[in-house]
Amino acid sequence: MSYPQPGPRPGPPPGGFRPGPPPGGFRPGPPPGVSAAAPARAEVTPGILDGSESTGHPAVDAVLRSLANAATLAPGEQIAEYEAAHQVLQETLASIDR
């Protein structure tokens, strides 16, 4: 009695899985003995977050107030607030480019 020849085996190729390069290409780390400098961060003061200071742009100020209010919501309700804030900020940035 003869048995049929098995086909290719499912799963990763022999030798293990090899992922492709990361998005944006290969990014080497710093040379040995050199520490990577952290990028400069914009300073956010508590007044910006609590609404007692203004960014100078009404739409951005409104988004910051909505995000401060979102912190008091249940996690499931926060998602909708974050998505709405993201949309407003995208539209605001797009209007600056025009």
- pLDDT (tens digit, 9 = 90+) per residue, 23-76? 776 677 777 777 766 666 656 666 666 667 788 888 888 888 888 888 888 888
12: its two tokens: 């990763």
- Residue 86, pLDDT > 90, answer yes
CA 70 – CA 79 distance, rounded (Å): 9
Predicted confidence at residue 15, as pLDDT, reads 66
- pLDDT (tens digit, 9 = 90+) per residue, 6-27? 766 666 666 666 667 667 766 7
CA 92 – CA 98 distance, rounded (Å): 10
CA dihedral 59, 63, 66, 68 (to 10 degrees): -130
Average pLDDT over residues 64-93: 89
DSSP assignment of 21-53 equals: PPTTS----PPTT-PPPPPP-----HHHHHTSS
Predicted confidence at residue 56, as pLDDT, reads 83
- Ranked by mean pLDDT, the top range of 63-67, 86-90, 92-96 is 86-90
Element (H, E) at 89: helix 75-97
42: its two tokens: 């914009």
